[in-house]
Every structure is written in C-alpha cells, then in structure tokens.
C-alpha cells in the first residue's frame, strides 16, 4: 500500500485562497 500523505499535511498552514 502507498504510504498516506493525508495525515502529514497541516490543516492550518496552507494556501487559503484561489481565484474565484
């Protein structure tokens, strides 16, 4: 099985916006 990267990403420090 592929190691999961789901739980290593931070919920807080991420890009907040994209173009509408």
Sign of CA dihedral 7, 5, 8, 11: negative
CA distances from 19 to 3, 11, 13 (A): 31, 20, 19
State the minimum distance, in angstroms, from the CB of residue 1 to another protein: 7
**Is residue 4 involved in binding another protein (CB under 8 A)?**
yes
**Is residue 7 involved in binding another protein (CB under 8 A)?**
yes
**Is residue 15 involved in binding another protein (CB under 8 A)?**
yes
DSSP structural state of residue 15: -
**Is residue 13 involved in binding another protein (CB under 8 A)?**
no
Where along the sequence are the contacts to another protein (CB under 8 A)? 1-7, 9, 11, 14-20
């Amino acid at each position: 099985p592929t190691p999961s990267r789901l739980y290593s990403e931070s919920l807080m420090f991420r890009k907040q916006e994209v173009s509408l």
